[in-house]
Structure formats: structure tokens, C-alpha cells
Amino acid sequence: MRQILSAFFAHPTAEISSTAKIGAGAKIWDFVKVREGASIGPETIVGMSAYIDADVSIGARCKIQNGAYIYRGTVLEDGVFVGPGACLANDRFPRAITPDGRLKGPEDWVRGKIRVSYGASIGAGVIVVPDVTIGRFAMVAAGAVVTCDIPDHGLAAGVRGRLIGYVCSCGRRLDLVGSTLRCDECGLVSPVSRLSPALQLTRRKF
């Protein structure tokens, strides 16, 4: 029987495994697929046609937008945003068959892992390859392909994704003013020592 932690909403067309765990106040919308052993935290919203693979762990108050695909081996901490059409994959060396031509089975490949940390945001159409950690309140721009770790508050963009700046916890881009990072929106001030060495060298507004 499905483990219901408390009352949640599921659209009639959603398909939720009987072994999935769904938190209080979660909302599972049209044509969503939630597979066996997956865990979705309280107040999380999963948009239309999203796919949540087996054993995926999604924290509280996350937003998973329409058509996002989150594969086994992924952990989303609390407060994570996943944009429409994003894909969090789990096979870094994908093949349908083995070198001798057999159809690959579960024993023929190594499942990768992805962790998206507290408050981070994954933009629309982003692809995240396995064995990557995305830091707290980091932001990945739409259409990027993430192949390496992104630090806390890091702003990554491009194919392949690279660090181009830093963002505030409110989501706005941080400005480099002298030796500090400043947010014009909420007034956050942070020392420049938190920057990666490459960005420290540029000494410019991102």
C-alpha cells in the first residue's frame, strides 16, 4: 500500500506506485509518473507529465515543472526548483547493448548519482549528467549541460556548463564591488574570498 505521510493531492491521471512516499500537502498533477520507492516531500509540486524514477528522493517544498525527467540515483534537497523539460540523467556512458551485442541489463552498467542541494534552481531544458553535485542556492541557466560540480550560489550556463558568476539566495545575480559581492535586490553582502580563483581574477561585474 502506498505510504501516505498525510493528505496530498494527486490528479486522477497521475500514476503513483503503491510503494512511493508522498508528503503532506504535496501536489501531483496530470499524467505524472512516480515509480516504486520514490519519495516526495511535504508541499512539493510536481507538474504535468513529469517522470520521477524509482528510488528518487525529493525534499520538501520543491517545484518540479512540466515534463521534467528525474532518474534513479538523484537526490533533490528541500526547496529545489527543476524547470520544464529538464533531464537529470543517471548513465554517463549510455549504450543499449554490450560490446558483444547483447541487450544491456541492470548488471551491465553503473548507475550514476546527482545531488541538487538546498534551494538550488535548474532552468528550463537543462541536462545534468550523473556524478555531479549542485550547491546550495546555485542556479543553472536554461539549456545548459551540467557535467561537473557547481559551488554554492554558483551561476552556471552554456554547453557545456561553466561557472560565470554567483547568485544571491533571492535568485538575483551578485555584483562584484571592490572586495565584496552585493545583491541590489535584498542587500546581501559577501566577501569576495568566496569566489572561485578564476572569477576572482576577472574583478568585474558578472
Long-range contacts (CB closer than 8 Å, 24 or more residues apart) made by 161-170: 163/196, 163/198, 163/199, 164/206, 165/199, 165/206, 166/194, 166/195, 166/199, 166/206, 167/137, 167/138, 167/139, 168/137, 169/119, 169/137
Instruction: Decide if 142 is inside a domain.
Output: yes
User: Coil, strand, or helix at residue 61?
Assistant: coil
Instruction: Decide if 120 is inside a domain.
Output: yes
Instruction: Decide if 80 is inside a domain.
Output: yes
Instruction: Decide if 182 is inside a domain.
Output: no
Alpha helices for the chain (secondary structure H): 197-202
- 157, three cell numbers: 550556463
**Degrees (nearest 5) of the Cα angle 21, 22, 26?**
165
- Distance (Å, whole) CA 106 – CA 130: 16
Instruction: Decide if 91 is inside a domain.
Output: yes
Using one digit for the tens of pLDDT, what is the confidence trace for 169-179? 898 888 877 77
Task: Quote the pLDDT of residue 117.
Answer: 97
Task: Quote the pLDDT of residue 195.
Answer: 54
Instruction: Decide if 176 is inside a domain.
Output: no
Task: Quote the pLDDT of residue 185.
Answer: 82
For 2, residues 6+ apart whose C-beta sits below 8 A from its C-beta are 16, 17, 18, 19, 20, 21, 22
* Residue numbers of the chain with a pLDDT score lower than 70: 1-6, 189-206
Task: Quote the pLDDT of residue 198.
Answer: 44
Using one digit for the tens of pLDDT, what is the confidence trace for 3-50? 544 599 999 999 999 999 999 999 999 999 999 999 999 999 999 999
Residue 159 phi, psi (nearest 5) = -130, 105
Alpha helices for 32-99 (secondary structure H): none
CATH no. for residue 85? 2.160.10.10
Task: Quote the pLDDT of residue 191.
Answer: 59
Instruction: Decide if 7 is inside a domain.
Output: yes
Task: Quote the pLDDT of residue 180.
Answer: 77
- 89, three cell numbers: 540523467
- Distance (Å, whole) CA 4 – CA 21: 6
- Distance (Å, whole) CA 54 – CA 63: 18
Task: Quote the pLDDT of residue 158.
Answer: 96
User: Coil, strand, or helix at residue 106?
Assistant: helix
Q: Which residue has the cell 542556479?
A: 139
- CA separation (Å) from 90 to 8, 49, 119? 28, 19, 22
Instruction: Decide if 184 is inside a domain.
Output: no
Count of domains observed in the chain: 1
Q: List the domain range (segments joined by +) for residue 113.
A: 3-169
Task: Quote the pLDDT of residue 202.
Answer: 37
